[in-house]
Structure 1
Amino acid sequence: MLPSHSFTPEFKAEIVGLCRRGDRSIGQVAKDFELTETAVRDWVKQAEVDEGERNGLTSSEHEELAALRRENRRLREDVDVLKRATAFFASMPKWGTPAPGWCQSGRTGGVGSLFRCPAWWLVLDVPPRRPWRPPWSGFIGARSQPD
């Protein structure tokens, strides 16, 4: 398969002009400039559409259509991201009501059970409460009762 080339609009206009003069056929012009006959025919058809001689989308309409399709694709991607974000945040617990399975206390409702829930310690940035112990109880060899 031959590699595709990008030609300037000026070059395409020159080729179309040579074909329209009638000196040479489209096939002959394509051979002289080492182009495919299909590409030259397409350029001639597009020039006729741009000048209003033939029905179809003009070059500017093609560019506008391509830009709108790009924007549409980008907006669909944005909507997809927002849908995923909505699903993620919808699965998180609501303020004041711990989600089932998040709270290990076994109770539901009430501020006391809310703050015993380890998940809320993360959400509220509150360190977990530890039961109070006398300062001497954590040492090795500490007596159970003070003197």
Structure 2
Amino acid sequence: MAVSKTSKMVAFVNYRVRVTIVDGREIVGRFMAFDRHVNLVLADAEEHRKLPATRTMDADDRHVRRVLGFVLLRGEEVVSLTVEGPPPAGTGRTAARSGTGRAAGAGRGMPAPTAAAAPTRFGGPPLGAMMPGGGPPPGMRPPGR
């Protein structure tokens, strides 16, 4: 039985992952989405990189961490993707799929019009002027006279 790469990746949506990119940086964040080009969307992302060693710097000073937030990584730049940990409690994919399975209005705003309600008009020309054969609106002459 063949398992596609995309079905393997779908299993890790919402997991904490570490992505290594071509310039050596590592981005750690919550894996939100991907596409066929392996473009990745990460939430709560942080960049981790190591600076080149110098004589005055010790190993702790070489590590630089920077908070990025919500990130889209181009698939061309991705070298590897490693799972760091499970999804946070309470944010599982089952919560997103708990709907009825059909599209419906959210129930906000004005109620839908009923058959008994008459259409409401707010200004404009009278209804007869807009009907075919109703003639020009009052105060206007037909063209050519």
Is TM (by shorter chain) over 0.5?
no
Give the TM interval when normalised to the shorter protein.
under 0.3
How high is the TM-score relative to the length of structure 2?
0.25
Q: Which has the higher contact order (CA 8 A, sep 6+)?
A: 2
Q: Which has the higher strand share?
A: 2
